[in-house]
């Protein structure tokens, strides 16, 4: 409550409704999916969803991101000055750096490295006590991605580093101790990586993401070391967040075990990955501000008004996905996915707009890991597998815990 009182109105307006995944879909259902004018603590805002609305949300010139992300989210999830908050040319220049690092040849190498690290870790679980798949996967991914970007390894830091990456995601829109942990994690990691950036700048450039970010220039200027650290974290942290979907994969395999045998087929595994990203709750919605007066489906959006794209609601809308509450990977077999249909990582073209540049990495890592999970001999001991849709980000309550034979 103390944190809440100290926050500016916009921050409160944006974090107040983050009570869960059902809030926006409930509002939109009342207007049969059309955009809904709403007020967030007295400020005018609009909620929208569906592929046409998503296209409108990403149309060049319609929306801006600065001032749309609340301070508490910047201080935990993204970092101050992150690419997520930039618009126009500044965004283009920074985004090109991410596209070059994340959308080229290195993706398959990283996926292979993560797969091997998972196998190695799984060898250690055999015949042992129950393991939290969530915690163990986070450590595997955080360690491997840090190595892939060129951060020197410190064995004693492995678990702490993974915990910090998870804490930043887990506590970004929470209040109380979860949020405090997220802030602390960010402060610690930004400090550590800013020092590393300074050190790397004294050396010759190397072919690594760390070196590329350290030596990146826009308008002839280097990023300040703190911002460079923020952007390095904007690779390591979200890659570690793929852990959420690995835990959801184990949940799906428990509830719909018929999928397991089919995961050996690469096409099916890819469809399974897409269905995980559609079905399970992760990003609830995206926020932006109208860059000019806009009009969509009989609703006016005044310049500056907050606009929320209902990601979770779009993924569970029967008009877009027949029988949306059925987990059916088959829906993605032999089918092209439209740029604005499946939007767990945003919509449109990642090269020009804000869509996630890490989507190829996400899909590649998940492809490797769900196939391994499919082959792993394990069982789930009695535990609470529930997923609370009032908690953002949602998690399988128990981890889940697995016992590997």
Do 363 and 249 contact (CB within 8 A), yes or no?
no
Alpha-carbon span 214 to 207, nearest angstrom: 12
**In this chain, which of 47, 68, 79, 95 binds ligand HEM, going by CB under 6 A?**
95
Shortest Å distance, C-beta 1 to ligand HEM: 29
Q: Pattern 102-121, binding to ligand HEM, x per CB under 6 A? A: x-------------------
**In this chain, which of 79, 358, 367, 400 binds ligand HEM, going by CB under 6 A?**
358
**In this chain, which of 232, 242, 249, 252 binds ligand HEM, going by CB under 6 A?**
242
Do 187 and 211 contact (CB within 8 A), yes or no?
no
- Tell me the DSSP string of 349-400: -TTTSSS-TTHHHHHHHHHHHHHHHHHS-EE--S----B-TTSSS--BTT--
Shortest Å distance, C-beta 350 to ligand HEM: 7
Largest CA distance in the chain: 62
**In this chain, which of 47, 223, 241, 247 binds ligand HEM, going by CB under 6 A?**
241
Residues 6+ apart with CB under 8 A from 317: 25, 33, 49, 50, 324
Q: In terms of CB distance, is 346 or 367 closer to ligand HEM? A: 346
Shortest Å distance, C-beta 273 to ligand HEM: 11
Residues 6+ apart with CB under 8 A from 32: none
Q: In terms of CB distance, is 244 or 332 closer to ligand HEM? A: 244
Residue 286 makes contact with ligand HEM by CB under 6 A? yes
How many beta carbons lie within 10 A of that of residue 121, not counting itself?
Answer: 15
Residue 84 makes contact with ligand HEM by CB under 6 A? yes
Q: Is 124 helix (H, G, I), strand (E, B) or coil?
A: helix
**In this chain, which of 284, 324, 346, 393 binds ligand HEM, going by CB under 6 A?**
346
Burial of 307 (C-beta count, 10 Å sphere; 0-12/13-18/19+) = buried
C-beta nearest to ligand HEM: residue: 358
Shortest Å distance, C-beta 258 to ligand HEM: 25
Spacing of C-alpha 83 from chain mean position: 14
Do 204 and 102 contact (CB within 8 A), yes or no?
no
Residue 360 makes contact with ligand HEM by CB under 6 A? no
Alpha-carbon span 188 to 239, nearest angstrom: 18
Residue 316 makes contact with ligand HEM by CB under 6 A? no
Residue 284 makes contact with ligand HEM by CB under 6 A? no
Q: In terms of CB distance, is 66 or 188 closer to ligand HEM? A: 66
Shortest Å distance, C-beta 123 to ligand HEM: 25
Contacting positions for ligand HEM (CB under 6 A)? 83-84, 95, 98, 102, 234-235, 238-239, 241-242, 244-245, 282-283, 286, 344-346, 354-358, 361-362
Binding residues for heme are 356
């Amino acid at each position: 409550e103390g944190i809440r009182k100290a926050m500016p109105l916009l921050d409160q307006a944006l974090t107040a409704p983050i009570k869960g995944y059902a809030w926006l879909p409930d509002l939109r259902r009342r207007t049969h999916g059309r955009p809904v004018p709403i007020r967030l603590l007295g400020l005018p805002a609009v909620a929208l969803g569906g592929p046409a609305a998503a296209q409108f949300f990403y149309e060049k010139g319609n929306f801006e991101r600065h001032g749309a992300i609340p301070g508490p989210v910047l201080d935990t999830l993204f970092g101050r000055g992150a690419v997520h908050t930039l618009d126009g040319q500044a965004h283009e220049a920074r985004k090109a750096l991410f596209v070059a690092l994340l959308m080229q040849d290195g993706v398959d190498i990283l996926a292979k490295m993560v797969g091997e690290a998972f196998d190695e870790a799984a060898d250690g679980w055999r015949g042992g006590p129950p393991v939290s798949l969530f915690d163990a996967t986070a450590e595997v991914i955080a360690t491997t991605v840090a190595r892939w970007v060129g951060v020197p390894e410190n064995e004693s830091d492995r678990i702490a580093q993974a915990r910090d990456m998870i804490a930043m995601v887990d506590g970004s829109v929470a209040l109380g101790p979860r949020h405090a942990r997220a802030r602390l994690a960010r402060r610690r990691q930004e400090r550590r990586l800013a020092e590393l950036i300074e050190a790397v700048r004294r050396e010759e450039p190397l072919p690594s993401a760390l070196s590329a970010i350290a030596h990146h220039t826009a308008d002839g200027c280097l990023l300040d070391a703190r911002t460079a650290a923020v952007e390095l974290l904007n690779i390591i942290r979200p890659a570690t967040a793929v852990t959420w979907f690995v835990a959801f994969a184990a949940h799906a395999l428990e509830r719909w075990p018929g999928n397991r045998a089919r995961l050996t087929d690469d096409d099916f595994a890819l469809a399974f990955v897409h269905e995980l990203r559609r079905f399970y709750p992760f990003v609830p919605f995206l926020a932006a501000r109208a860059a000019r007066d806009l009009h969509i489906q009989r609703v006016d959006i005044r310049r500056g008004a907050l606009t929320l794209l209902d990601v979770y609601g779009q993924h569970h809308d029967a008009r877009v996905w027949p029988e949306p509450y059925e987990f059916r990977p088959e829906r993605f077999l032999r089918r092209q996915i439209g740029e604005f249909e499946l939007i767990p990582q945003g919509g449109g073209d990642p090269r020009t707009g804000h869509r996630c540049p890490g989507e190829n990495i996400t899909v590649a890592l998940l492809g490797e890991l769900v196939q391994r999970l499919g082959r792993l001999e394990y069982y789930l001991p009695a535990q609470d597998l529930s997923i609370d849709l009032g908690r953002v980000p949602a998690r399988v309550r128990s981890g889940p815990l697995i016992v590997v034979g």
